[in-house]
Amino acid sequence: MSDLKNQTCEACQADAPAVSDQELKELMREIPEWAPVSRDGVMQLERAYKFKNFKKAWAFHELVAQMAEDEFHHPTLTLEWGKLTVTWWTHAIKGLHRNDFIMAAKTDALLEKLDS
Ligand SMILES: C[C@H](O)[C@H](O)[C@H]1CNC2=NC(N)=NC(=O)C2=N1
């Protein structure tokens, strides 16, 4: 079991390999709260985090945005009252790269940084 949350993203070019079906299955085991979704034929990873109000969701949004910039790999973030939906995929390959699983695991790890 690789420790995805402690890995870093690699620079992603257009010819980078998308994860295989087998790799997808294996990697999903490490991020069980996430769902693989297909949008307009593009495979993505998505998780909706629930919070007690907008301010908490906003605080988590800030943490995720900063982490994305630090790793230079960016998600779609949908911020609502009491909820932040995070979606990862790799634009350069129009699909899922190992980077997306690393970032999903890092996103889960960020929850512990939120003051309760
Ligand atoms: C120029 C290009 O946008 C950059 O290389 C990075 C920025 N962040 C990125 N984020 C994501 N999710 N996919 C990318 O392909 C990507 N590319």
pLDDT tens digit string along 20-63? 999 999 999 999 999 999 999 999 999 999 999 999 999 999 99
Q: Strand order in 83-88's β-sheet?
A: 35-39, 42-50, 83-88, 76-80
- CB burial class (10 A; 0-12, 13-18, 19+) of residue 11? exposed
Q: In 1-116, which residue ranges form alpha helices assigned H by DSSP?
A: 21-28, 54-71, 98-110
The residue whose CB lies within 8 Å of the most ligand 1 atoms, and thus the one to mutate among 9, 10, 12, 96, is: 12
The answer to whether residue 6 is domain-embedded is no
Ligand 1 centroid to 53 CA: how many Å? 30
The answer to whether residue 92 is domain-embedded is yes
Q: What Å distances lie between residue 76 and 45, 86, 115, CA to CA? A: 10, 6, 23
Joined together, the tokens standing for residue 24 give: 């997808």
The answer to whether residue 46 is domain-embedded is yes
The answer to whether residue 56 is domain-embedded is yes
Q: Is 6 helix (H, G, I), strand (E, B) or coil?
A: helix
Residue 82 belongs to domain spanning: 18-115
Q: Is the CB of 92 under 6 A from ligand 1?
A: yes
Q: Is the CB of 74 under 6 A from ligand 1?
A: yes
Is the model's pLDDT at 107 over the cut of 60? yes
Is the model's pLDDT at 1 over the cut of 60? no
The total domain count for the chain is 1
Average pLDDT score over the chain: 95
The answer to whether residue 12 is domain-embedded is no
> How many C-alpha atoms does 43 have within 13 Å on its Cβ side?
16
Residue nearest to atom 1 of ligand 1 (CA): 92
